[in-house]
Amino acid sequence: MSLLRATATIGGLTLVSRIAGFLRDVLMARFVGAGMAADAFLIAFRLPNLFRALFAEGAFSAAFVPMFNRQVGADGGDLRGAKRFAEDVLAVLLPFLAIFTALMIVAAAPVVWALTGGFPDADPAKFALAVDFTRLTFPYLLLISLVSLMGGILNSIGRFWVNAAAPILLNLALIAGLLLASGDDPVQSARVQALCVAFAGILQFVWLLWACARADIRLRLRWPRLNASVRKLLAIIGPAALGAGAVQFNLLVSTALAARFLPEGAVSYLYYADRLNQLPLGLIGIGVGTALLPAMSKQLGAGNDAAAGHSQNRAIELVLLLTLPAAAALTVSALPIIRGLLEFGRFTTGDAVATADALAAFSLGLPAYVLIKVLTPGFHARQDTRTPVRIAVASMLVNLVGNLLLIWRFGHVGIALSTALAAWINAGALWWVLRARGHFSADARLLRSVPRLVLAAAAMVAVLLALGPWVLPFTAGTLPIRALALALLIGSGGLAYLGAARMLGLFTLADLRSRLSRKGRP
């Protein structure tokens, strides 16, 4: 499967998931709002998401997929040795996660207090709610970690769509909970959300189990033993966990500072803004990064460094083509977008303005977030997980210092600005190290394209700034009027971008398809 086709497969299903996730956020804003109940639920949901990034999806894939693929290659395409390796990993992973999940449920109160400081100056009921919701959501970690194991296997054999479809089930479960069991009480609505998180983990586990059975992948439970392969995986996954969890760590620090030092609602403003900012990251960065890692692993394993470099150049070109206009739109048109999409029910005009300010700040770092996803496989494909970790830890320290400096002047917007700055430092350091080691260099085509893409995005910004004041009043109207106003704003900006790109002589999608379909041949 070519890089573009794999990216399109993952991106298309991620698009469905993100649309469902956006609908979930709209319903949550309407039924839960941005107050005490929302803050408590979001704190509870942040914890399993952090450990999911550490133990499961990003870190596990970064360590497991290259090792699984190398075993398949060493066995001449026979999956039996790789399946045995997966069974050995499962035997160690399952008991560890079961014990860890149980401990976190028992210790939910001190963990939430360490994160939030007990929500100083807030209603004591808010802390109790956060503890209760944490105990309801944490079983999701165990289930999603098993999903990640099975998803890594399916990705390795080219069945990207199954794992990419799994997050849709989480969003559908939460949507069903909001529509069927929510009422006038925001606390009750938030409690239903917490229950649905654990239920969604069950759905995702059953989905991946069924897909593995269809692919004739049946993993047997074995007695845990730390053989050489498992020890090597654990040695790789530790640094990879820190690297993959850098963004989640940054968000956790931001959430903790907002809970401790900012007024009620700040946690929710940052959440809603980050969710919209994550939409293009999920569609573009994660899709390209997921497809790029096994492709580069195979190219490097075959000794074809030139092909790996070509793949990475084209991946960067692709993500910048799609990310720069998204970043421009979310930055300069944040308020009409937030008002048109979220200002319903319990989500007030004041909530919309505060969330839009955070979204504009987050979006300044959007190209960097996506570049991190594309540059990191350049290390992981070479089984180097330590270097991205060192860079990620440095960016986390930058984020912490930035938060502490900016929060007092700019409130929750300072937190978003600091996160964007840390992302640029992370992406810049990854680029510099790869280049210094001779593992990556921007080719002539990429160097020609980047300044032209920036100019095309600037043309889009000009159109959005001109239309924004005229469109803004209509984004608080009825649903059809909101939809038309946003379609006019975003459609005009998109046409300006495409027109400028054509005038500047940038590549076409047909040309990009032609080049990427050569499966990495330079």
| pLDDT exceeds cutoff 90 at 25 | no
Show the tokens assigned to 54: 């550490």
Phi-psi category of residue 108: left, alpha or beta, with phi > 0 → left and psi -120 to 50 → alpha = alpha
- Residue 197: its pLDDT value, please? 92
- 339-358: burial string, b at 16+ Cβ within 10 Å, e else: bbbbbbebbbeebbebbbbb
DSSP 323-379: HHHHHHHHHHTHHHHHHHHH-STT--HHHHHHHHHHHHHHHTTHHHHHHHHHHTHHH
Average model confidence (pLDDT) across the chain: 81
The three-state DSSP-derived secondary structure of 106-117 is: HCHHHHHHHHHC
Average pLDDT of 353-374? 90
Angle at 196 between CA 265 and CA 192, to 5 degrees: 55
Q: 445: closest CA among 395, 514, 376?
A: 514
- Residue 522: its pLDDT value, please? 35
Residues 345-356 have pLDDT tens digits of 788 889 999 999
Q: Where are the domains of the chain?
A: 3-516
Q: Please state, in angstroms and rounded to a whole number, the distance separating the CA atoms of residues 417 and 405.
A: 11
Banded model confidence at residue 112, pLDDT cuts 50, 70, 90? confident
| Residue that has been written with the tokens 């999911």 in this structure | 52
The full length of the chain comes to 522
Residues 290, 10 contacting (CB under 8 angstroms) = yes
- Residue 460: its pLDDT value, please? 92
Q: Please state, in angstroms and rounded to a whole number, the distance separating the CA atoms of residues 52 and 356.
A: 28
Residues 146, 94 contacting (CB under 8 angstroms) = yes
| pLDDT exceeds cutoff 80 at 284 | no
**pTM listed for this prediction:** 0.72
For the purposes of burial, counting CB atoms within 10 Å of the CB of 384, is it exposed (0-12), middle (13-18) or buried (19 or more)? middle
Q: Residue 296: what residue type?
A: M
Q: Which of 43-47, 64-68, 485-489 has the lowest mean pLDDT?
A: 64-68
| pLDDT exceeds cutoff 90 at 489 | yes
R_g (Cα) of the chain, nearest Å = 22
